[in-house]
């Protein structure tokens, strides 16, 4: 019950991440789809930090 909404929220978040490439986004979507209970959690724990770090480096 919680997995589908979590996947949807993660997919939207991945899609809206601005400073990561298309291939990286596709990779994260595949991870979230193949590992539906773990993939979205990994995105929110690791992927967003990576996207924010890349974003911070782009600003400097």
- Which tops the pLDDT comparison, 48 or 42? 42
| Stated pTM of the model | 0.78
Domain of 51? 13-59
**pLDDT given for residue 49 in this prediction:** 76
Cα dihedral sign for 24, 6, 38, 45?
A: positive
Residue 28 near residue 43, CB atoms below 8 Å: yes
Half-sphere CA count of 27, side-chain side, radius 13 A: 7
Instruction: Tell me how far apart the alpha carbons of residues 13 and 31 are, in angstroms, rounded to a whole number.
Output: 14
Residue 5 lies in a domain: no
Share of the chain above pLDDT 90, in %: 62
**pLDDT given for residue 22 in this prediction:** 94
Residue 38 lies in a domain: yes
Task: Give the pLDDT mean for 3-14.
Answer: 94
Residue 48 lies in a domain: yes
**pLDDT given for residue 16 in this prediction:** 93
Domain total for the chain? 1
Residue 8 lies in a domain: no
Half-sphere CA count of 22, side-chain side, radius 13 A: 0
34 pLDDT exceeds 60?
yes
């Amino acid at each position: 019950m919680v997995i589908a909404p979590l996947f949807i929220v993660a997919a939207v978040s991945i899609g809206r991440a601005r400073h990561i490439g298309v291939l990286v986004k596709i990779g994260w979507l595949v991870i979230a789809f193949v590992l539906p209970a773990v993939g979205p959690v990994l995105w929110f724990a690791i992927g967003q930090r990576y996207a924010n770090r890349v974003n911070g480096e782009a600003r400097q």
